[in-house]
Structure 1
């Protein structure tokens, strides 16, 4: 026969087990409804950057936003829909307007006014790409009249570089693909963005090189629509798990993401 203490202990453990079994799915279901209210996680991506989406030789897509979106959809138990845009600024606008649920992008103060961010996923250096036989060999050669610096329209580079280079001309490009063509037409002399994207561009431009040093860093984080801040603890745990398990390293390797460093907790 059980003692009173044993009966109480047994009942407490049973109750705890029932709460665990019932409460966890309910919480997970609530998080899924919050992050993917339509039942599908809509992930915003743009081609040409391993921080978003690139394709390998076999045509298989990889990328930070692409793969982390897939991992989160699995964790939430929801379907996934990849929504393509030309550039990241368009994705941020779509998230702000509630048309997209998730992406990974540079967590700038300006963007934080439009969307909500998780803890940092990783940091990446910002740099410059010059074509083959360029007379520009170092950063000190850039800020001169007549030098045309290409940037992605609506990007952090477009907002930041005019204050750093007052003599050179900033020339917006609609996309990375368009920027590569602009080099060929002599419309730009160099291109400024994050180094992972610059490495992707240089692979398509024989003789091109990335200048030594950097002009800053981007702190990549998960972006979700405003009003979903209750899900940030889940997103922060998700990021920490991806970092500590090695999954993030594997994603970077598969995407060929170069120029990244480990993020520091902010």
Structure 2
């Protein structure tokens, strides 16, 4: 693939270090251990980008997607890994997606709800992680139900089990994992949305179109070569797929 020229590189990483915001709100893509070490598909891709452009890498973790997006708006971050969303797109330029993830609903076993199309009714109360892709999507799409925003995606099930709401919404695999800590929960069949995860850069950067074009070409190569699928296998990711 083509190399990034010097002027584009200077705009992309003006500090001389590639500063990457890592969203820990989606454990399918990034995690932090007790020692503070980061791992996941996004970290693998970030390392590959830094190697390609021959710059040192700084990983900056955030607890939620919303905080990650706020970080890139400040200008102190050069690149983020977040879900494609038209609201965020006002400030962020996206590459094509590299991974697709399902958003799903979970209810208590005693709930009368049996399908996704029964959720958006008057009286339903959906718990969702504040600022997540699911929050942004449901804010636009839900017509009759109410939304209750947990402080993070990881807090959704705990809030739900504390008595808040009658439906929990989020990453299907995370909900299933969190549900193992409790009895009497079940997933509604299928999904209510597909989330396209992509690289984002700030539109405030001069020449952001050229930066986006370079990263888009790189993502296409990483998908075609098997890099993304191998990273998913290495990190034991299930329930997601390499984006088309």
Provide the TM-score with structure 1 as the length reference.
0.76
| CA displacement at 1:108 relative to structure 2 | 1.7
Query: For 2:211 and 2:164, how far apart are their aligned partners in 1?
Result: 44
Q: 1:259 aligns with which of 228, 239, 243?
A: 239
Per-residue deviation, residues 150-194 of structure 1 (Å, max 9, x unmatched): 112123333432564444321011102322321231113322223
Question: CA distance change for structure 1 residues 111 and 206 in 2, over 3 Å: closer, same or farther?
Answer: same
| CA displacement at 1:76 relative to structure 2 | 1.6
After the TM superposition, which of the residue ranges 53-62 and 220-229 deviates more from structure 2?
53-62
Bigger radius of gyration among the two: 1
Q: 1:170 aligns with which of 131, 134, 147?
A: 147
Query: For 1:209 and 1:31, how far apart are their aligned partners in 2?
Result: 49
Q: 1:230 aligns with which of 205, 210, 216?
A: 210
| CA displacement at 1:71 relative to structure 2 | 1.7
After the TM superposition, which of the residue ranges 30-39 and 71-80 deviates more from structure 2?
30-39
Question: CA distance change for structure 1 residues 109 and 182 in 2, over 3 Å: closer, same or farther?
Answer: same
Q: Do residues 40 (structure 1) and 17 (structure 2) align?
A: yes
Question: CA distance change for structure 1 residues 152 and 146 in 2, over 3 Å: closer, same or farther?
Answer: same
| CA displacement at 1:126 relative to structure 2 | 2.0
Contact conserved, 1:153 with 1:173, CA < 8 A, in 2? yes
Q: Partner of 1:68 in structure 2?
A: 45
Q: Which has the higher helix share?
A: 1
Q: Partner of 1:13 in structure 2?
A: none
Runs of 5+ consecutive residues of structure 1 not aligned to the other structure: 1-22
Per-residue deviation, residues 37-82 of structure 1 (Å, max 9, x unmatched): 2122111123242354125799864333322112211222212222
Q: 1:122 aligns with which of 88, 92, 99?
A: 99
| CA displacement at 1:144 relative to structure 2 | 4.2
Q: 1:150 aligns with which of 109, 127, 134?
A: 127
Size of the alignment, in residue pairs?
A: 240
Contact conserved, 1:48 with 1:200, CA < 8 A, in 2? no
Q: Partner of 2:191 in structure 1?
A: 214
Q: Partner of 2:158 in structure 1?
A: 181
Contact conserved, 1:149 with 1:189, CA < 8 A, in 2? yes
Q: 1:100 aligns with which of 69, 77, 83?
A: 77
Contact conserved, 1:41 with 1:73, CA < 8 A, in 2? yes
Q: 1:193 aligns with which of 160, 167, 170?
A: 170
Question: CA distance change for structure 1 residues 144 and 223 in 2, over 3 Å: closer, same or farther?
Answer: same
Matched residue SS, 2:128:
strand
Question: CA distance change for structure 1 residues 259 and 80 in 2, over 3 Å: closer, same or farther?
Answer: same
Contact conserved, 2:96 with 2:216, CA < 8 A, in 1? yes
Matched residue SS, 1:120:
coil
Matched residue SS, 2:93:
strand
